[in-house]
Each structure stands twice: as structure tokens, then as C-alpha cells.
Amino acid sequence: MYTSSEENYLKAILKLSRKGDSPVTTGALAAEMQTTAPSVTDMLRRLAEKQLATYEKYYGVQLTEEGVRIATALVRRHRLWEVFLTEKLGFLWDEVHDMAEQLEHVQHPELIERLDAFLGHPRFDPHGDPIPDAQGRWPERQRQPLSNVEVGGQAVVVGVDDHSTAFLQYLDRLGIGLGVHIAVLERVEYDHSLCVRLVEQGRDLTLSDKAARSLFVELL
């Protein structure tokens, strides 16, 4: 129906507009897609032509209802494949993105619903990101950065804001992953770094402010 390239743009536009930047600018899209502004302009024209987005020159782009529908389905596919790769094939959370990026473009009316059932209808992916359901509805969860938690507070890791390999592998080395129980022991005023205890492992460690802001938790 649509090319992989078109689908990738739709997904990027959805991502940026859900982050709050609406309408999405050519420059922001070029950065997100790691390409040049002229390439973006070309594609926006094609997407508008196909009624997947409304595009106003020198202003920006917004997805149409159909555009949102397609982009949401892509996010659903991407995240379900990520669950498959980690849960069934044993890949780590920092290894699955590129594969899912390819798998999400496989077209078939029933495939993804079968996969969803096979995986037990997961609501969140290996990074804690929500998986839209078949109707495009997003599961909600009240999460916040670990950096917001008061000293003395306790929380469970439910997601990451930074999906980079470097950060994810750093967390692995620290023993931090989804579901890990954290108690905040102390906040250093000087650089806002946090001393925390990993409750199950009984281990204490210090997290930089940058790291603490990139970790999402649910309060206990």
C-alpha cells in the first residue's frame, strides 16, 4: 500500500507531534530522520498528495486521521516485534530496534494480530513504551522521571526516555532494568546526582542527574 520510506516519515511525524511539537517542522523531521531538508520537503508533498498529511509551506505538517491510523499501526507493529525478539528469541533490549524497524514494514492483514495473541497481548514493549491496541488506543500509565522522586521515596522502573545503546548497556551493567525496585537514599545538591538502593539486589549506587532524568518510574 505505502512504501517503507513513506511509513518511516509517518512514524516520525507521529512521534514528534505526540511529543508536543505540532505542527512538525521540516527541520525537526530532517533531524529525526537523519536526512536533509530537501528530502523532507519532497516527501511531505507526496504524503499530502496521498491525503496522509496536511502540509503548509513554510509552516509545517500534521497527520490526517488516516495518517495517524497508519503511523499508530506501525508503532504497534514495531513494539510487538520488539517483544517477540526479547521474549521469544532472547535478544537484549538494546539489540532489537533495528530488526523491529525492518519487521514493522511487513504487510499482512492478520499477521500482527496473530503475533499479538502469541505474545499474550503485551501492553508495553521491552523499553516500557506503550503498545497501541488494534483500534489505535494507547495504554496509559502514570510514570515520571526518577529524578522527580523525593528522598526516602520508593519506585519501580517502568521505562526509559533515552533508547540509545550506550544508555541501555550502562543500565544493564548497573543491574537496572524494567521492574527493578529502587529506593532513593539521597540527592546531592551540588550536581543533582542521586544515591539509590536497588532493593532486590541490596546494592547501593549513584546515578547522575542525566541518567535519573532518563529513567521512568512508577511510585510505590
Partner DNA sequence: TTTATTTTTTAGAAACAACTAAAAATAGAT
Partner DNA sequence: ATCTATTTTTAGTTGTTTCTAAAAAATAAA
Q: Which of residues 189-208 bind DNA (CB under 7 A)?
A: none
Please report whether residue 22 would count as binding DNA according to CB under 7 A. no
Nearer to a second copy, 20 or 90 (CB): 90
Give the nearest distance from C-beta 130 to a second copy in angstroms: 23
CA distance 63 to 102: 22
Joined grid coordinates for residue 97:
530496534
Residue 77 CB, nearest approach to a second copy (Å):
12
Query: What are residue 71's phi and psi, to 5 degrees?
Result: -65, -40
Size of the site for DNA (CB under 7 A): 25
Strand partners, 203: 198
Give the helix/strand (H/E) hosting 111. helix 111-118
Q: How far apart are CA 35 and CA 52, in angstroms?
A: 20
Least Å distance between CB 86 and a second copy?
11
Contacts of 99 (CB under 8 A, 6+ apart): 81, 85, 91
Q: Which is nearer to DNA, 45 or 88 (CB)?
A: 45
Distance CA 11, CA 63 (A): 10
Q: Is 139 an interacting residue with respect to DNA (CB under 7 A)? A: no
For residues 106 and 151, which CB has a smaller minimum distance to a second copy in the complex? Answer: 106
Q: How far is the CB of 49 from a second copy (least distance, A)?
A: 24
- Binding mask 24-63 toward DNA (x if CB under 7 A, else -) reads -xxxx-x----xxxxxxxxxxxx--------x-xx-x---
| Residue 179: CB atoms within 10 Å | 9
**Binding residues vs a second copy (CB under 8 A):** 85, 88-91, 98-99, 102-103, 105-108, 110-111, 114-115, 118
For 31, the grid coordinates are 533531524
Beta bridge partners of 60: 56
Comparison of 52 and 196: residue with beta carbon closer to DNA: 52
